[in-house]
A and B are shown apart, each in its own frame.
Chain A
Amino acid sequence: MSGIWVVIEDRAGRIGRISWEAVSAAQKLASQRNEKPNAIVVGAQTESLAAEVASKGVAKVVRVEHPLLSQYTSDGFTLALEQLFRAESPDFVVFPHTYQVRDYAPALAARLNQVLIGDVVAIEDGPLFTRQLMQGRLAGSYKAHGAGPCFISVQSGAFRGETADAGTAEVTTFSPTIEAGQIRTKPSEPFRGAAQTVDLGSAQLIVAVGRGIKEADNLPLVQELATALGAELAASRPICDNGWLPIERQVGSSGQTVAPKLYLAVGISGAIQHLVGIKGSQCVVAINKDADAPIFEVADYGIVGDLFEVVPALTEALKAARH
């Protein structure tokens, strides 16, 4: 047998959005040859996972099941999937580009003398797989030449997961041979990072407030926005100098350096001392009433307007979007 395969990843029985996006990518590849992809779920007990996947427009779901797969280990997953792929010789295997996949898929590919094309953002005819180079400054198209399976992993958000078709697929079980001695690493249960009160450095979403807020009494307005977004609250130096927010929330050259996915700057004009602290941000959004404020120079999205109007409107819109 051959075909397009997709590996589903779960965390404690829950399948994340990125796995559905991988399914869509696999469907895109498969549709070029009028096929549906086959899905793989891996674990010690995969029945309910398989049932969930079976309804998502796949041809078949294979439950790769073994007691030693109850917890993820690179050795266990590599062994199990190696055996499956040796048996099935797929043409393409699609993974979600997760930390877990990055941990074992390169080794799995190498074991089959293949190379994983990781972090794919687009698939073009050929097929050519596009991925980012030079930290997003360039894009490169990759092609696989090997006789064996072509492994790719897809970047979160690159393929819309919502487009997954409905349908009911056949479910089979594959039981790999794994011995306890073959698993060399012993992972612990996942834990949350040390309970720090504020850790802006590792925050993914940050709402930062500057002098535009005018008075300490207006801070709850921005706090509500941060809550609606699920973001940490941060501030520019003058806010902390005034004691309106504690110093550990200060971003900039004399405070924290941050690298979030989203940095939403409210009423911050953007002095250099502040800008150097946020240059690692992937996306900067600025709300400021001064259209000439330097923060707009570095922002990806900007709204020129009165923050006392824009912020409440944004909080409302976010709350609505979350439902």
Chain B
Amino acid sequence: MGCKRLPQTDKHLIHALIAATGVSSVVTQLYAIRELLSQFSGNEFVISLIIFVWLILGGLGTLTAQTANRFRGVSLTALGWLSLLLACLSPGLILAIRFLRTALFTTGVSVGFYPVLGFICLVVGPLTFLVGFLLPYSLYSLRRKVPGYPGSRVYITDNLGDVSGGALFSFLLILFFTPLQALLLANLPLGLLSLGLIFLSARSNPLLLPAALLLVAGLGLPPLLSVQSLSTGHSGNLIHYQESKYQRIEVFRHKGQVTLFGDGGPMYSSRSSFLAEELVHYPLAQLDEAPQDVLLISARSDMLREIEKYDPDKVTYVELDPALTRVQFQYGLLQEYPGLRIIHQDARRYLSRTKQTFDAVIISFPQPQTFKGNRLFTREFFHMVQKHLSPSGVFSFSVRGYANYLSQSQERIVSCLHRTASQSFSRVLLLPGRRTVFLCRNGPLTANIPQRLRERGIRPPYIQGYFSGTVTQERISRLQERITSSAPVNRDLDPVLMRFVFSQWFAKHASSPLTFFALLGGLGIVYLLLSSREELVLFSTGFLTMGSEILIIFVFQIVFGYVYSMLGLIVTAFLAGLLPGALYGERLQYRGRRMLMATDLGLISCLGLLLLLLSLGWADCSKWIYLGLGFGIALLCGMQFPVALALKGDTDSVASKSFSADLFGAALGALLISVALIPYLGVTLAIMALMGLKIFSISLVGTPALGSNKR
């Protein structure tokens, strides 16, 4: 080798830099997802779009780095500057998302599929591109000094950084820091190492001081702008801000009114008694006697005040997020009640463990927009509620109301839930209003709420005044007429409701994802037709890895009711599996096709195990199973890459194509699993579809032509 050796300190510095890049990229990605979900009231479409764009633009960054290498535009100094740029941009990304959301879109307006896609490309794209660019660029920088420097070391170091980033996010950052503080901490090592590299590569560099200032500004300023960035576009003053384990909580006070925002959307406001009256009195008015124990799952402002009018012995309020209830009481959005018992637990988990029965179970949770919310609107959950009702007990929940016309998309949602509730209750009555309230009981139900309330001597002003003009017999009859008896039943693992909710989301924004998917499908078909069999295998592997990750995230949400605090761990489990997989795969690559088939079978087995857990009802036995499954799947997928590469011949061109195949599969997997396969086929069939993909992959591997030039 004609080149000088790279000093040991420089090498260590560069390796540390690569690891720090891994930490930065994973933490930034997780917080970017979090921020975008909050800014766009994100549903599964938004999550999958973020991952899709991240993968595609990151991949383009990687390909561009190869080109930079070809044109000899590689140096350690440039690596230092680019890494510094990444460190400075990452915290700024969160600010950019917040400020540009306000700058580009009308304040207070929610936006649809294409604007979200455009926003993600525009705002998150440059950073993902840079992240994708930096890893190979680091390798080329090293090779410029030490030709033939093993790429696997860079890959391993990066992966270690990724895993560390995931762990850091899950065990430290999410628990103790706000996003901007967390990003400062996660990017500080990268920034300092970048400065070190700039210094080492040119010790008398006059730009060192500006670089240091840039770092201080890039990392130090964003946390200082935290409150301003959150207040942008809001009337009133931000009086409380908190990142709980489950959501972002902001409280604004404006002209004496307090409004609590959860994940960016208004949840509760003071003086909102109209809705509280509907949600409380419609079910409780059905009871002949005063209720002994009322179960409240999630609670809107003033609900406890309305319940108090019935003087129940006990009110059990179940809310997963302790921070939320604390804030509700702190700012007077809920009032203390002598018999009030607050349970900070997932409602399903609580019901599955308690033997208590209730005279009324009231869900005030809004119409589900995500899989997480859907789990309180399924047959399984309704059945669980029914088991915990006293013989004359009543259950109520509600979905979005309508003013004067029940749209077809809402009609499908209402019909689906009516059919689902009818599986557990002999009577289901629907009352139109601000929300469409479902009253469920194995006994008589009446729509004459004002009359029942008069009999009890309760006079809630809204119902007394407005019921007769809003919930007329004619409107009730028309609503009941729209119920389709053949509507599908919404189930835990077949969340058909989400299909209708997604379609309503598109109807609201007068758009359709078909153009996007048609374009993507067309490109996909062309790509697959032009791909070699090895690339197809890797495509299926990428699809399965990302598809499984998304699947596990969503199944976890469905089973446990939350995912935010576990998101980092799940991602970490996948990242942690890829690294040993790749190392092990390199060692066993001589086994060629047999190795690919064995790993494919292993993947099918992992998915089969998940299927078994779900079908046997053991899905909630332990959270660690999901992490273990994620690790296992990633391990097997990681093993396939070097094997497939070896089969095809490990050249730069092959590596690039293989990488593209893996990446394209991953991007497509993320998208299709979340927005097409789960809502349209259900979780079970989505898992089977992934298994089918791998069976197809085995058939390709089993074909003699594969790798015949090598083995």
The answer to whether A binds B is no
Chain A residues proximal to chain B, CB less than 8 Å: none
Chain B residues proximal to chain A, CB less than 8 Å: none
